[in-house]
A and B are shown apart, each in its own frame.
Chain A
């Protein structure tokens, strides 16, 4: 069983604050790292697919970086809004197509 860890477990911020979370994963047998956003009463939605060491991806106010050599990825949210409230999941993928998820970081943005 692969060990994928996310921190912090939960986070409460004020609207307008910037924040970041961490996903740690095994540095061997890396194939891809996925980030998902899971809003209450909805299905998890893919945010980023990251495959190369040093990758940086951006979608609006959300961005992510990847370091495969040391086994971590950061997700950043700039100027958090209440609609960013969700659980953010990372998934480590092997070349066998298996996705192992972390336990997620639950973000609450207060207006």
Chain B
């Protein structure tokens, strides 16, 4: 099966600019996650979708971050405007669904964002 696709792989922007990341999950995976991983820390959940509905966005900085999964398939994460502390790896993951107990997350390769 094809894996989780993410783009771009790398992005360098200046602070106050905007940026968007794209993710296409594994076909048939109902749940899609966006994680932020800062160097030296574990991935932190930004937002979780179940099909096209938001399950958890409690840790998403909503004043600058937004995400959508309009058709319940691929998803876009946007940052506007970016701050220096947004420099991180942004990981997209998908799984069969939260109620499938034995279903691990399948990750994309991530987007490494550097804000200067």
Contact = CB atoms under 8 A, between A and B. Distances in A.
Interface of A: 1, 4, 6, 31-32, 34, 36, 42-46, 49, 51, 89, 91, 95-104
B109 A101 contact: no
Interface in B43-95: 43-45, 48, 50, 55-56, 59, 91, 93, 95
Interface of B: 3-4, 31, 33, 35, 40-45, 48, 50, 55-56, 59, 91, 93, 95, 97-99, 101-110
Contact of A97 (B42, B48, B108): B48
B105 A99 contact: yes
Name which of B42, B50, B55, B59 has the most chain A CB atoms within 10 A of its CB. Answer: B42
A101 B101 contact: no
Most buried by A among B4, B55, B103: B103
